[in-house]
Amino acid sequence: MPRFDNVEDPRRRLLVQALAAGLFSTGAHSAVFGTPPSKLSKKQSFYRLRGSVLVNGDEAGMKTRVADDATVETGPNSEAVFVVNDKAFILRSDSKLILEPPKKESRFRFAMRFVAGAMLAVSSSKRGPTRLNTNIATIGIRGSGYYVEADPEKTYFCMCYGVADIAATHDPDSTETVEASHHDKPLYIVGDAQPGKSVQPGPFINHTDQELQLIETLVGREPPFVFPTDAYDSPRRDY
């Protein structure tokens, strides 16, 4: 799996530059990336596929549907941008996401297990909270945008906007609630800390407002912040 702090691939940098420059409204975007983003049809799950992407173990194509109980995996140098109901995802290289419809008695309206890799996602708070599990963290998400990276030893989580209740599954004394409007408090959840210290402050890494704008567009929404006109490299606040 790529390191959490590795340099992003050139194609993603080009995508971010194109988003910042407004190329989605011109023919230049189509020449580089394909169809300009808009709300996807209910019959379509994928906006973009790159490299090796599997859905339930089978190679995905642009007509493949992703149900709310699917497993989506990406290989090296691969990426999937897709929609499930009112939620949209960018799944980066070497990632595995297992969607798990919750039980009827659960207060969560959507659940998933993020086994490995990196993922940016958006959801609507109107449909109820989402449960996200990694190897060492349980996160209850009450709407909006978030970014997560996971490996067996640690989880990185940024609540980009919205509210999240975060707990270390191996350390019941390590919990935190984050209410964010613009990447206010990124966190690491680590597996080798002292009791009560497993949830720790983290940096802002590896995701952008332009990417959030893209996937919100795919489900017919806008991010709840004033969108920057310049290229976005880091949060507009100190930590």
pLDDT in tens, 176-187: 999 999 999 999
What tokens does 151 get?
């490996």
CATH of range 43-206; options 2.60.120.1440, 2.160.20.60, 3.90.1260.10, 2.60.120.260: 2.60.120.1440
Question: Tokens 């090796």 sit at which residue?
Answer: 52
Q: How far apart are CA 110 and CA 11, in angstroms?
A: 31
Q: How far apart are CA 103 and CA 204, in angstroms?
A: 34
Mean pLDDT of 112-135: 92
Q: How far apart are CA 232 and CA 239, in angstroms?
A: 17
Torsion angle, alpha carbons of 59, 209, 185, 108, to 10: -50
pLDDT in tens, 25-39: 434 344 334 467 899
Of 215 and 37, the structure prediction assigns the larger pLDDT to 215
The structural domains of the chain, with segments of one domain joined by +, span 43-206
Q: Name the amino acid, one letter, at 222.
A: E
